[in-house]
Structure 1
Amino acid sequence: MSGAVPARGAQRRPTAADGLVVVDKPQGWTSHDVVARMRRLAGTRKVGHAGTLDPMATGVLVLGIGRATRLLTYVVGADKEYTATIRLGQATTTDDAEGELLASVGAAGVSLDKVRAAVQSLTGPILQVPSAVSAIKVDGQRAYARVRAGEDVELAERPVTVARFDVHQGRPGAAQDGTTVLDVDVTVVCSSGTYIRALARDLGRSLGVGGHLTALRRTRVGGYALEHAADLEELAQTPDDVPLAVLGLADAARATFASRELSEPEARALSYGQRIDWVAPAAAPVDAREDLPVAAFGPDGSLAALLQQRGEKAVPVLVFAPA
């Protein structure tokens, strides 16, 4: 799993082009593990990711290479889709299966109809208290580090939006301690910053039986879907003298952001960081937050800039076109 970049003078892959790589993260790997491996495969240390996945989780992890790392700040803000399994009847310290058992109430009286009714209060714009064992910083230190050090951490609630919380099938069963549980398969589409573990916890609480996450798979980040994700081991089979294949800047931006085509004078003005007149863009290919920037493309199809509206003007927040 080592992702160390070869020492100076050692043979290494050719540096990959600027772009994104959508990876299907394996279970047991941290997001940092994947970045480390990608640095070696891409032949550069300039690699970042758009949104952490817990080691237990699998699925879409968007990686930026080279100049595409500048896109990641905005990709992080795109909506996300997950499939998950929630175990009702037990609560844990981490709100997932990796934590210690807090309570075993049992879910013998919980039906799928009750579950579907309960998820209604967790759908739409809601205030959510993130899981204490999370990467959120408290006074400069990650919350999970404080919890592991024995501190009681209480995080402030924050607004998130759960666009979909679909309940599929339920499987009654018994936990290792004999407690009757109900494993429920769900699909969640939500805004950035939503904790699926916290949804599992809150669903269990609303039903009075406790709940935690036992499986999580991210199937989409913005316009980057699982069906287009690459397997890390398959990427590792790329010949050593061949640059890693990436999704180029223009295609990467078109996949998630609303778009605008520029004239030559507009593209030239943006390359110098100048404002241009605001024009309503073409809609993004997937539902996206209204505050995400607009991707602007030059006459040659290249990504020129990301724009934000300021009154009647479009202001470049990121410029890719050379001056």
Structure 2
Amino acid sequence: MRENNRWKYISNRMFLLASVLFGFLALQILIQCILFFREEAPFWQVMLFLVFTVFFAVSFWVFVLRPYRRIQMMIRRILDGYILPDKSLFDQALLTPTMEEEIERMEQVLKSPEMMDLNKRQAQYLALQNQINPHFLYNTLESIRGEALIAGMDNIADMTEALAKFFRYTITKVENLVSVEEELDNCGTYFLIQKYRFGNRLQLHVLCDEENRESIMNCRIPKLTLQPILENSIIHGTELKIGTGNLTIRFEQTERRLIIRISDDGVGMDEQTLAKLNRQLGRGGKALTENEEKKGGIALVNVNNRIHLLFGEQYGMHVYSIRGKGTDVEVTLPIVTTQDREMEKV
């Protein structure tokens, strides 16, 4: 049934018409070549058909097919729940003047205060849903810890305690913004858990200007900003290298911005992979790539999108990497030192 209805779509009819026209031109080139070899047609006539056919094929690809596929991919991403890309990306592939008006209207609706409030309410509902009974998890982990202490397995007891502390921060603490100090404490807990797996193969360093240390530690950033990046650095960087892996978190404060750089000396990535990742992060929400499987914790794209939602698209994340040398993830945030009540809501 689906096959029978394929021709109801104007796009399919357009591609069929283009294919027929291209086939006709190719047939004419073949006929002109035969006539030329029979000395019944001049050479310039053959070349004219050939140049026109090539021009038609290239023009159709550049001005029709490629923009069509681009906008089709963007619409798929919107349907999958991604944020509406910058409207300027649609300008190269607008089908009709009406479509431009529809996109402007869609942008107004998606970015309206009512929609933002609805998103906040949905996030609040999900957060409350995740907290329905966290005490069962904590009590179970505490029971495991108690049994481990009785059995003299101190390492298992310490690991269980660290895991309970990590989940308590992740699940129970519902604020959108937390202090840098709290985020670093959670990173320390996560790193302690990883140390039981990697031992001395893994080292974590935190660097901060001592003059601005107190100010930086009191800055408020989105919860679970640093730990997912740290996890990504371990899984895709230091874990894959031979020898000791070093992870470094650097803080720099300017007049209006807090710049955080998470670095590793792992395997790094090639230029093509790096460019693809940065397109996906897409400073300003202009990412346009196919969905990729995300492994290990909260994806970098998730962190980046939360920063965009909270602070705007002028802030976010960018990745630098050299193959065989390591990777740096730079996070740019505004200086927030007081709790904005609207922003603190989940």
Bigger radius of gyration: 2
TM class, shorter-chain normalised? under 0.3
Comparing both structures, which one devotes a greater share of its residues to strand?
1
Comparing both structures, which one devotes a greater share of its residues to helix?
2
**TM-score of the pair, normalised by structure 1:** 0.21
**TM-score of the pair, normalised by structure 2:** 0.20
